[in-house]
Amino acid sequence: MTGSPSEAPPPPAGATGRWAELFSARHLATVLVLAGGVALYAMNLYFTAALMPSIVADIGGDRYYAWVATGFLMAAVIASMLVSRVLGSWGASGAYLAGFLVFAAGAAINALSPTMEVLIAGRVVQGFGGGLLAGLGYAVIRTALPDRLWGRAAGLVSAMWGVGTLVGPALGGLFAELDAWPWAYGLLVAVALLLAVPARRALPREVVRSAGRAPVPVVPLVLLTLAASAFSLSSAVPPGPATAVALGAGAVLLAVFLVVEAKGSVSVLPRLTYLRGTSLKWVYLTVAALCAGVMTENFIPLFGQRLGGLPPFAAGLLGAALSVGWVVAQLFSVNLGPRGARRAIRVAPPVLTGGLVAYGLAQADQAGTGLVVAWAVVLLVAGTGIGLAFPHLSVAAMSSTEDPAEGAKAAAALNTTQLIAYAVTSAIAGTLLTLGGASLVDAARLMTLGIAVLTALGVVASLLATRRRA
């Protein structure tokens, strides 16, 4: 599950807008575009995860399994950095039209892909369009709707992340069950083009120029892309020295990215992240650790089909188990007070890590019904860990400074942190899967337990993120 971005327009004091007004004929087309764009992006990663076993069986390219997700996510990271510039150049209508058309173009390439290399190229295009749509979902609320509806609209858009990540695996599994994966992407093309029509007609076309647009952090983004590419390459080269070199190169590039981020004048994350005495860096590391665990969902349908003997649709539903745990736990966690929120953040990484370790150790060939049910249960537990913490991490980010403007930037950057963690972890997961060799059981264990090591780093980060400041 991609999670919901933290930046949303706060409802103004005295807001009186109602749901009935939000869904009235006057605003329905706008709401459909805002919510539909985010839902398309949110469902897409896991939609493809449920389709991947069928795609690999049809066109091959299992060595590049993880690249399909990594390419999509890295393109989304880059696009997220460009949302404000696209919006400032083309206006809300033009920006959304571009997002939907690029997304549709990528989905069309996917549907027609004869090889895995072409599919990956389509996913990159699709990820760029999806990254624009995800960012625009919040950025356009202020200009497209009256202020009394901002809070309602932001809540609806946020809900689309949960809807998308729950519907995606099931819908993808259904198309896989029908052995019709190209038609799944054809459906995405049709939906994107249908949404482009009201986007052009209903959203404001005028361009609102900002007084000073922040420059794009080109060098950090290039370094981050190269790091993710190196990690991904390690899964495609023969196991041995070449793998070690690729992994080492990825680690070095990631370290250089952090150094350039900390010392450069332009950065992907807020400058506050790199200042001493703030907890923000630990908040982001906690987020990254939790999001690392989410990447197991990309491979669960594969394990469910080949190790558990599940049909594609059931395997897709199994892939949604972690997201279900996330969503359900989040519904309860949002009601916690400050003390409970601090405890939830600290408990989250151990719960997630424990669930993943249990899932990894429980992998077995020709698993029976009881074992498959146990997989679903421990994945639900793992997702619960994420849901406990996530509603409170944006508050922790905003609380890392007394400057309201900087606090808002810090909270908004949680989404960027998520995307970075997804991209890097997806690439590493592919390498771990390859290192498992011919045995899928060994590969599943190695990949899941390897990701559990990354999530375990969040135990220390969460403690540091929730320290009481003197």
CATH number for position 312: 1.20.1250.20
Higher pLDDT pick, 210 / 95: 95
- Look at residue 204 in the predicted model and tell me its pLDDT: 78
Per-residue pLDDT of 205-241, as tens digits, reads 776 555 446 677 888 888 888 888 888 888 777 778 8
Global pTM?
Answer: 0.80
Q: How confident is the model at residue 470 (pLDDT cuts 50, 70, 90)?
A: very low
| Angstrom distance (rounded) from CA 58 to CA 181 | 10
The answer to whether 194 and 37 are in contact (CB under 8 A) is: no
pLDDT, tens digit, 9 for 90 and up, residues 270-288: 888 888 878 888 999 999 9
> CB under 8 Å, gap of 24 or more: what pairs does 308-312 form?
308/367, 308/371, 308/372, 308/375, 309/366, 309/367, 310/372, 311/177, 312/50, 312/53, 312/54, 312/173, 312/174, 312/176, 312/177
Per-residue pLDDT tens over the stretch 34-56: 889 988 988 887 788 889 999 99
Q: Centre a 10 Å sphere on the Cβ of residue 10 and count the other Cβ atoms it contains.
A: 11
Place of tokens 């989410």: 294
- Summarize the confidence of residues 427-441 as an average pLDDT: 86
Q: Are residues 61 and 101 in the same domain?
A: yes
Percent of the chain clearing pLDDT 70 (strictly above): 91
CA angle 53, 158, 282 (to 5 degrees): 85
The reply to whether 456 and 400 lie within a common domain is: yes
How far is it, in rounded angstroms, from Cα 137 to Cα 345? 27
Higher-confidence position of 197 and 434: 197
Residue closest to 343 by CA, chosen among 355, 328, 333? 333
Distances (CA, A) of 464 to 194, 279, 346, 358, 396: 47, 7, 9, 26, 11
Residues 254, 153 share a domain: no
Task: Count the domains in the chain.
Answer: 3
Q: Is the pLDDT of residue 7 over 50?
A: no
Q: Assess whether 417 and 311 both reside in one domain.
A: yes
Residue 59 covered by a domain: yes
> Looking at residue 378, what is its pLDDT?
96
Q: Which two tokens stand for residue 451?
A: 């990701």
343 in the same domain as 241: no
- Residue 272 lies inside a defined structural domain of this protein: no
CA separation for the pair 39, 162 (Å, rounded): 9
| 58 confidence band (pLDDT: 50, 70, 90) | very high
Q: What is the dihedral angle through the alpha carbons of 36, 42, 44, 50, rounded to the nearest 10 degrees?
A: -130
| Model pLDDT, residue 13 | 43
Residue that finishes a domain, picked among 207, 227, 257: 207
Last residue of a domain, which of 176, 207, 238? 207
Rg, C-alpha atoms of the chain: 21
Average pLDDT, the chain: 85
Confirm whether 246 is domain-assigned: yes
Residue 213 lies in a domain: no
Are 406 and 466 within one domain?
yes
Any domain includes 72: yes
13 occurs within a structural domain: no
Q: How far is CA 326 from CA 162, 164, 334, 353, 438, in A?
A: 9, 13, 12, 14, 32
Same domain, 252 and 365: no
Q: Does 64 share its domain with 34?
A: yes
Question: Which pair of structure tokens corresponds to residue 240?
Answer: 């041995």
Give the pLDDT of residue 272.
82
pLDDT at residue 289 greater than cutoff 50 = yes
The pLDDT assigned to 345 comes to: 93
Q: Which two tokens stand for residue 62?
A: 């299992």
CA distances in angstroms from 38 to 20, 78, 165, 377, listed in the order given: 21, 17, 11, 28
Q: Do residues 227 and 136 both lie within one domain?
A: no
Highest mean pLDDT among 24-38, 52-66, 210-224, 366-380: 366-380
CA distance 158 to 390: 13
- On the question of pLDDT at 5 being above 50, the answer is no
**Number of Cα atoms under 13 Å in the Cβ half of residue 49:** 34
Domain containing 403 equals 277-470
Model confidence at 9, pLDDT cuts 50, 70, 90, reads: very low
Do residues 323 and 47 lie in contact, with contact meaning Cβ atoms separated by under 8 Å? no
Rounded to an integer, the average pLDDT of 316-341 is 85
Q: What is the pLDDT of residue 156?
A: 78
Query: Which pLDDT score is estimated for 98?
Result: 93
The answer as to whether 238 is a domain residue is: yes
pLDDT category at 1 given cuts 50, 70, 90 is: low
Cβ neighbours of 442 (radius 10 Å): 14
Query: Domain check: are 103 and 240 in the same one?
Result: no
Same domain, 367 and 225: no
Residue 345 lies in a domain: yes
Task: Say yes or no: 116 and 254 in one domain.
Answer: no
Among 186, 207, 228, the domain-final residue is 207
Label residue 91 by pLDDT band (50, 70, 90).
confident
pLDDT at 402 exceeding the cut of 80: no
Of the candidate ranges 49-53, 97-101, 372-376, 447-451, the one whose mean pLDDT is the lowest:
49-53
Looking at residue 469, its pLDDT comes to 52
Report whether pLDDT(196) > 70: yes
Q: Residue 391 and residue 384: Cα distance in Å, rounded?
A: 12
Q: In 10 A of CB 35, how many CB atoms?
A: 20
The tens digit of pLDDT for each residue in 301-326 reads 999 999 999 999 898 889 889 888 88
The reported pLDDT for the residue numbered 6 is 42
Higher-confidence residue of 111 and 436: namely: 111
At which residue do the structure tokens 């019904």 appear? Answer: 369
Of all residues in the chain, the percent with pLDDT exceeding 90 is 34
